[in-house]
Each structure stands twice: as C-alpha cells, then as structure tokens.
A = this chain, B = another copy of it.
C-alpha cells in the first residue's frame, strides 16, 4: 500500500489518531474476514477496496475533485444518488460504523444517542477520517430524531444540506417528498454549476439501476441452500456499495455473481446444506461494524442469508422507471422509487412487515434477528409488531439491541448460541 500520510496531512487529519484507528482495523479484518474458509475468489476485489478504504478511494475522490466533480457525503439511502451523478458528482455514504470516534462525539453530543450518528460526528469533529474532509457538501435528512437534530450541530462544522423526509407516505407526504427531490436537484445544480438535462438524469437513473440490479442478483444467489457466500462477505459488499466507484462496483459485483452462480449450480456453499439460515432485519451496519454477523457465523453454526436494512435490501429494492419522456417525469419516478423504501421512520409502515414476511419465504429463513442500534426508537418500537407478525408465521425471533462497543460480546454470543439451538 502507498504511503498516504502526505495526502492525509493535506486533508488536515489528526495523523496520530488516524493511524491509531487504522492500526486497529487490520487485525480485526484478518480475524473476521480473512480467516473465513471457502471464500469466493471474487471477494478479493472487496478485500482490496477495504484495505484501501482511507487510501486509494480517497485519492480517487481527490482527483475527481480537482477535475471539478463535486463530492457529496450522505447519511441516508433516501438521498437520490442519480441526481448527484447527473451533475457529475460522487455520492459517498458516511454513516459511522466505528467505536473509535464515539468518545470524541460524546464531548459535544449527548451520550444517549445512536452510535452510528455519534461515530460519524466524532470522525468529523476530531478529524480522524478523510471521509469528513473530502466532501464539498454533506446531505442529511429528517429520518429520525437523532439525525434530524444532530444535523443542526453538524452544519456548524461543514457545508450541510438537509432533505426533509415526510412522516407518512400519504398524499401530502408524496407531494412534500417530490418537492424535496426537486429542491435537491436545484441544490446540486447550484453547487456544481451544471444544469441537469433529461439526458444526464437518464444516465444517472440507468447507472443506479445497473448497480441495484447487480445487488439484487447478488442477494438472489444467497437464496440457495447452501448459500455460496457468507453473510459477512455479503455485508461487506453491501457496505462498499456506499462509497466505491459505481460502475466499477457494479462490474465487480457481477463478476462475483458469475462465480457464485457456478457454485450454486454445483451445490457448493460456504456452510453445510441445512445450516440454520438467519435474516438480520432492522438498523443498518455501517462500515466497519461487523460484530453481529461475526458472532452469528462463527463456528459455522449459522449463516446470514439476508439483510433487511439500509445496508442490504433497502439499498437496492425497486428500480427507477427508465426512458420516461421529460425531466419532470424522471424526477417524479425518482421520488416514487425512493419513497418505496420502507424505513421505520414512516408511519404507517405496514409494507416493511409484509416485505420481511416475503424475505422469510424467499430466502427460506429459519430465524430472524431483529437488530436495533442502541437508542434507535423507530426500529425498536416497530420491532414489537414485526416480532408479532413473525411469531404468527412460526418463525423464531431474537432481538438484539447493541452499540459498537465490545463489552456485550460475551453476552451476545451466549444469547445467539441459545437462539441457534432453538432453531435447530
């Protein structure tokens, strides 16, 4: 790997603390990822990307910046990537997945707050990640209370734009959301100096649909018994979707899928046939948060076959209609597609419960882990009714609420083992 300290210094990073953070990642990755058996060869690309997460990708983004492309840091799958692409910009998901930066956040933000938000804030505030130094603009959204109010503080540090997400998907909610998508388009035009033509937007729509189709194809292959890829590896691919070059990522996912298809035809998988199949459903797992998948899949006792979260099905579900005649039609289609995402911040959100039930059937799920990041109220409360629905289907359910720390690992291991026994 190149020595990126010069680049990091120019970005104004706290080099010492940043080194400290990276030093922890290597060994963790070895233990969690590289020690796996029967890994598809196609995962090598994603290992490489992860090893260069603060290096080569940042270098690429800086080179794009120099050429005038706008880098947009985002915190939510509702922010339409097509629109960023249409001005030649780059959409980069910057939710935080590391415990490392949380103490820094807690010098400003309340402790009782989602670790994903604290982690992002801490990296930004303490300058310990290049992803909070490179973007020209950060785009937040009013999904949950934690994010909605944290952006009011975040925006005092960096250029920030907030999209309003309605609380409901009813008539007024749809109108408000369409307005927000149009306003975001205007914001991106203003930021970039580039006018979004129907052609530019169509290109973005098709590029995003290609990426989504690749991810949908990838998840489809996990339906096999045994699955040809581990849940941990699938999670990693889903996490990298958020910040890798879209076209290159799409290509590499398809290459991986070609390999996985052959494995599935030969009945080759990463675990024995009949290994308990788990779906993890709820809050997202931002890079590099791998704790739960690692515990579940250790000792080969179970395999995660589906992730119903922003870093999973909610990322790629549904395409945007292609080839619509006017710019307005395309923007409407974008607004429609994004509003189909079934985040628990909406009320009602029955479609998510139906979606989960469908995934249980399609992925032949034996047990569901309802995962909530600590202090996330929308997913924990919605989990009450999701659990009811799953119990009604006779599906074993386990609830996990946790943060990014390591204190509860032993306890989680015990509980998860017991859950696996219950399933078997």
Contact = CB atoms under 8 A, between A and B. Distances in A.
Interface of A: 108-110, 112-113, 142, 144-146, 148-153, 162, 164-168, 170, 172-173, 175-176, 179-180, 344-345, 347-349, 372, 374-375, 377-378, 380-385, 401
A381 B142 contact: no
A349 B372 CA distance: 28
22 contacts: A108-B384, A110-B384, A112-B375, A112-B377, A112-B380, A112-B401, A113-B381, A145-B145, A145-B378, A145-B381, A148-B167, A152-B349, A164-B166, A164-B170, A164-B172, A166-B167, A166-B176, A172-B175, A172-B176, A173-B176, A176-B176, A375-B375
A115 to B, nearest CB: 13
A160 to B, nearest CB: 12
Contacts of A381: 109-110, 113, 145-146, 149-150, 152-153
A241 B162 CA distance: 37
Contacts of A377: 110, 112-113, 144-146, 149, 375, 377
A148 B375 contact: no
A144 B153 CA distance: 19
B345 A145 contact: yes
Contacts of A374: 112
A202 to B, nearest CB: 27
A349 B152 CA distance: 9
Contacts of A146: 377, 381
Copies in the complex: 2
Contacts of A382: 149, 152
Given A166-B176, A167-B165, A176-B172, A152 B348 contact: yes
A347 B142 contact: yes
Contacts of A151: 347
Contacts of A383: 110
Contacts of A349: 152
Given A375-B375, A377-B377, 14 more contacts: A109-B381, A113-B381, A142-B168, A145-B345, A145-B381, A148-B347, A149-B347, A152-B347, A153-B381, A164-B166, A164-B168, A166-B167, A172-B175, A375-B377
Given A109-B384, A401-B112, A167 B153 contact: no
A142, A165, A167, A384 — most chain B CB neighbours (10 Å): A167
A248 to B, nearest CB: 36
Nearest to A346: B148
Contacts of A112: 374-375, 377, 380, 401
Tell me which of A108, A109, A166, A179 has the highest count of chain B C-beta atoms within 10 A of its own C-beta.
Answer: A166
